[in-house]
Structure 1
Amino acid sequence: MGPNCRVLAGRVDEVGLMFLETAGCLAYDQRDLPLDLPSLGLSFHVHLPLDLPWDGGAAGVSATILALEEKIAFLRPRHYVLHPPGAAQLEALLSLRPEISARLCLENTRQDDLAALWREITDLDLGVCLDLGHLVSYGQEHILDLPGIFERIRILHVYGGENSSGHLGLDCLPDPSLLHDILARLGRGCALVVEVFDLPSLENSLMLLKSWLSEWGMDHG
């Protein structure tokens, strides 16, 4: 992750660390997470693994997250992004680790638009990572009407949509005015993340985003 963060430093203010596989991430050492990363002047948030051991119960998931937290504590991540488990699993995890609720953000995914979990999200006072690409690709625009959702969005993933090739650049976004309308309703502390994974497309998307923000009279830092 060190080389990628060094490339991104100067281009962005915050980086999402993609911890996608539990075993591999638990094995990370200083070669993967260099101790000089804080000197890059970046803020960080962490995408928790997609294969957390939910089948073994919340205690195992809690222990896994704690081990990852200890590994990345020196980076002081602002938030943890979690793909939604079942309601009972989520409640069980937070009963064991209530202190992480302030940093935990559930993401709308292809499989789960968060609507069925909304009562639990509000009752547990959790944040949301709104993924615009998932929203436009899988017809999830209705979740923007969930009560209080804009007050809960801590991270906004922006890209042009998702297909079999992966995440598309912002030039493929079907309706940029939707992004404008979302941004106009967000709090200032929300992290805006261009979630594009090849450098040329990322750079083009960043330039396009800055041009839109300038056109809309919105601050882009």
Structure 2
Amino acid sequence: MNADSTRVFSDLSEPYKRRFPFRLSVPSFIYPAGYAENVRMLASFVDEIELLLLESGDDRLPSESEIEELAALGIANDLTYNIHLPTDLDLSTSSKTDRRWAVERLCRAIERAHPLAPTTYTLHLPYHETDHQKPLINSWEIRNAESLIDLLTMSRLSPRQISIETLDYPPEWFEALVHQIDLAVCIDMGHVLRFGYDLEKTWEIYGDRTTMVHLHGVCGGRDHLGLDQMPKMAIKTVRDCLNSYTGALSLEVFSFDRLNSSLPCLAQMFLR
């Protein structure tokens, strides 16, 4: 996507690069523009960019030339990248053929992003069943394990390079899986809070293997809001969990206004 050169975007009010104990990341869609333009606008303000590769089609991934441009911007601005892998794929579908296809599509995204030396590849493991009975969950877990082993073999990634994200189901559902394969975890704190799960318990289970945190405001059953929309008690819990965290934290909001309102809130939480 090429940005219209006549558009003028606002800058963030204050740089936060290298100011937090963790690496501050923001998504690659803050401005209604392409990957490179977003990175150019954000690079001097943050430590890392969450590159959103949310759709698996070849025409939806950044081109090789775009990746080269992003790599050059990263070097020039002392900026790292993490990759959010496509969310339109399901590694647990009952069809082995479809699972194999999903693995292959994920490998294409991983291969495309490889020149950026990503700090982590964040992956969704969706659960589409309406029934939460234990046998169905166990079968879901087994199919995911088979697909993930294939993914690691084909992509040649090490297990800790993939971070499994907490979604709308209880976070402990994939506890055995991540230990079995030795995967990393992305704790999406907004998801945990929105769906009513215990954030402190989730951190207790996964904190030692968490390489990515997604943080965003939650209010009235909605998430991915600015942090100014986060209830005060939730903010205290977030701060307590992240007290000694040194990985990456992505403010997973998708507009300039929400990011601009979130950064001062994050600073108030962690900067003394």
Quote the residue 1:144 is aligned against.
201
Report SS of the residue matched to 1:130. strand
Report SS of the residue matched to 2:50. strand
Quote the residue 2:210 is aligned against.
153
Q: Distance in 2 between matches of 1:6 and 1:203?
A: 16
The reply on whether 1:15 has 2:49 as its aligned counterpart is: yes
AA aligned opposite 2:174: L
Q: Distance in 2 between matches of 1:90 and 1:182?
A: 28
- Residue 78 (structure 1) aligned to one of 89, 106, 119: 119
Quote the residue 1:184 is aligned against.
243
Q: Are the equivalent residues in 2 in contact too, given 1:114–1:143 (CA < 8 A)?
A: no
* 1:111-144 alpha-carbon deviations (Å, 9 max, x no partner): x233122111111111111111111111111672
In the TM superposition, 1:94-105 aligns within 5 A as 94-96=148-150, 97-98=152-153, 99-100=156-157, 101-105=159-163
The reply on whether 1:40 has 2:77 as its aligned counterpart is: yes
Q: Are the equivalent residues in 2 in contact too, given 1:159–1:195 (CA < 8 A)?
A: yes
Q: CA RMSD in A?
A: 2.4
Pair 69,26 (structure 1): closer, same or farther in 2 beyond 3 Å: farther
Post-superposition shift, 1:106? 0.8
Is there any run of 5+ residues in structure 2 with no aligned partner, and where? 1-34, 127-139
The reply on whether 1:120 has 2:177 as its aligned counterpart is: yes
**TM-score when normalising by structure 2:** 0.70
Quote the residue 2:142 is aligned against.
88
Report SS of the residue matched to 2:271. helix
Post-superposition shift, 1:49? 0.7
Q: Are the equivalent residues in 2 in contact too, given 1:161–1:167 (CA < 8 A)?
A: yes
Report SS of the residue matched to 2:82. strand
Quote the residue 1:59 is aligned against.
100
Quote the residue 2:270 is aligned against.
213
Q: Are the equivalent residues in 2 in contact too, given 1:131–1:156 (CA < 8 A)?
A: yes
Q: Are the equivalent residues in 2 in contact too, given 1:26–1:68 (CA < 8 A)?
A: no
Q: Are the equivalent residues in 2 in contact too, given 1:2–1:32 (CA < 8 A)?
A: yes
Pair 90,157 (structure 1): closer, same or farther in 2 beyond 3 Å: same
Quote the residue 2:166 is aligned against.
108
Pair 74,212 (structure 1): closer, same or farther in 2 beyond 3 Å: same
AA aligned opposite 2:194: S
* 1:50-95 alpha-carbon deviations (Å, 9 max, x no partner): 1125443443233222211221121111111111253123211232
Report SS of the residue matched to 1:102. helix
Tell me which structure has the larger Cα radius of gyration: 2
Q: Distance in 1 between matches of 2:202 and 2:65?
A: 44
Q: Distance in 2 between matches of 1:146 and 1:178?
A: 10
Q: Are the equivalent residues in 2 in contact too, given 1:160–1:167 (CA < 8 A)?
A: yes
Q: Distance in 1 between matches of 2:220 and 2:104?
A: 34
Report SS of the residue matched to 2:174. helix
Report SS of the residue matched to 2:81. strand
Report SS of the residue matched to 2:122. strand
Report SS of the residue matched to 1:28. coil
Report SS of the residue matched to 2:253. coil
